């Protein structure tokens, strides 16, 4: 998600994340609540390829609100263990 720069007359510049289709011309200042206008600045270019950029963006996105993990990831190529021992059938199942 792109980062846009806004400037508050009282507090100075601050950054905000917005989707490209939904970026406002002005936004409330997070410090004083005054109306701050968007500043047009230089584009931030990166030398990262798309996979690396995606990892960087995911890490930045989850820094404040981590994703919820509901289960452990499966090992690639690992088949579930099958046992033929009749005593194992009596064990409690998860």
Query: How many residues comprise the chain?
Result: 94
d(CA 67, CA 9): 36
pLDDT score, position 37: 93
- The answer to the question of residue 91 being in a domain is no
- The answer to the question of residue 22 being in a domain is yes
- The answer to the question of residue 68 being in a domain is no
What predicted TM-score, i.e. pTM, was given to this entire model?
0.46
29 lies in which domain range? 1-62
Tens-digit pLDDT profile for residues 15-61 = 988 888 888 899 999 999 999 999 987 766 667 778 888 888 888 88
Beta strands in the chain (DSSP E): 3-8, 12-17, 26-28, 35-39
d(CA 91, CA 16): 54
SS (H, E, C) 55-82: HHHHHHHCCCCCCCCCCCCCCCCCCCCC
């Amino acid at each position: 998600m792109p980062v846009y720069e806004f400037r508050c007359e009282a507090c100075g510049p601050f950054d905000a994340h917005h989707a490209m289709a939904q970026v406002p011309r002005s936004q409330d200042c997070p410090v004083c609540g005054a109306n701050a206008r968007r500043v047009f600045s230089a584009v931030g270019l990166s030398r990262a390829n798309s996979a690396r950029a995606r990892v960087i963006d995911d890490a930045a996105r989850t820094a404040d609100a981590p994703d919820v993990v509901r289960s452990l990831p499966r090992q690639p190529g690992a088949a579930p263990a099958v046992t033929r021992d009749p005593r194992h059938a009596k064990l409690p199942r998860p």
